Amino acid sequence: MSTPPSKTLDEELREKVEDRKAYVGVIERLSKASVDKHWEAYADIPWEDPDFTVDPSDPRWILPPIEQLGATAWYRSQPEHVQAQIGLWRVATMMKVGLQFENLLKRGLLSYAYKLPNGSPEFRYVLHETTEECHHAMMFQEFVNRTKMPIKGMPRALDLLSQIAPHIPRISTELFFIFVLGGEDPIDYFQRQTVKSGDDLHPLQETIIRIHIAEEARHISFARHYLKHRVPKINIVRRKVLGVATPLILGLMARIMLAPPGPMVKHFNIPKDVIREAYGHEAWGAELKNCVAKVRDLAAELDMIDPVSKRVWRAVGLWDTPKVRRVRAAR
């Protein structure tokens, strides 16, 4: 097995999508990349390799200081094996939430593809993406199984609410792909930060992360280019609604992906003041803003931020000055 690179295709293919021809060119390039370089959960990960064994006391699971909880004095004061178990629970929960999100995503993508006309280049790419997401879900669940921990994933109430997500394409495909970015960008940001940190990662965790980063780059690119192609064409009312919905979706999704899971807090009796210390300060707020920065910039670029939506961005704690200018409407 060759080690998957952290990037096989930058999520930003720099082509402009001002017309259909350029947009189709992007999709065709993404489809080709999915054929040329992809991974299978049970063919490309050496699960039975002794080095890939999941030992809950392995010190490589200990949370690094870049993790908010890992930087607290309470966490650092725990015995090493407890720190490792908390770290493993944290990693496994992110994977469980990730596979639950990807389940919703796959159902939404198939709903979107169901009515695409013959000859649509989107159809082929969406099926490539769905196939890749199936392998992601398999490798995430296999990892969770090997921890032998009672990992729950999304809170029950949120899990029930999230079941509307696969039906969003029937109402608005633009809103659905905002939902896609809301789930994919925060975890992509966190995984890239983890790889760049230089910490000694468990080889199974690192392999899964690198595969996920490489293929999610294509998925994120498709969603972004779809929105760049479509949003400038929709009427002002729909754009304003989309502009308000975007920070609401991101505010929820970013916290689901990055906040500490309640069962973990309860299982390890983590004090409430430690949680407040770790996730209630300015650095945590900055991380939340950073993990959605690309989507916020995209919203500004597509003229989806006005005084009303800007107040919503501020209310959910995700506002920062965008780094891009708006684009002209697509021809």
> In Å, how far are 66, 133, 212, 227 from 1, measured between CA atoms?
30, 20, 16, 35
Question: How far is the C-alpha of 148 from the C-alpha of 265, rounded, in Å?
Answer: 18
Q: What is the mean pLDDT of residues 86-94?
A: 95
> What are the pLDDT digits (tens) for 44-77?
999 999 999 999 999 999 998 778 899 899 999 9
> What are the pLDDT digits (tens) for 167-222?
999 999 999 999 999 999 999 999 999 998 888 899 999 999 999 999 999 999 99
Residue 119 in tokens: 């000859």
Question: How far is the C-alpha of 122 from the C-alpha of 113, rounded, in Å?
Answer: 8
Give the type of residue at 140.
Answer: F
> What are the pLDDT digits (tens) for 152-161?
888 877 777 7
Q: Which domains does the chain have, with CATH numbers?
A: 20-315 (1.10.620.20)
**What's the pTM?**
0.89
Q: Is the pLDDT of residue 5 over 50?
A: no
Question: How far is the C-alpha of 39 from the C-alpha of 155, rounded, in Å?
Answer: 30
Question: How far is the C-alpha of 143 from the C-alpha of 96, rounded, in Å?
Answer: 9
Question: How far is the C-alpha of 184 from the C-alpha of 195, rounded, in Å?
Answer: 16
CB burial string 156-170: b at 16+ within 10 A, e below? eeeeeebeebbebbe
Q: What is the mean pLDDT of residues 16-23?
A: 74
Q: Is the pLDDT of residue 330 over 50?
A: no
How many helices and strands in the chain, by DSSP H and E?
Answer: 14, 0
Question: How far is the C-alpha of 166 from the C-alpha of 176, rounded, in Å?
Answer: 8
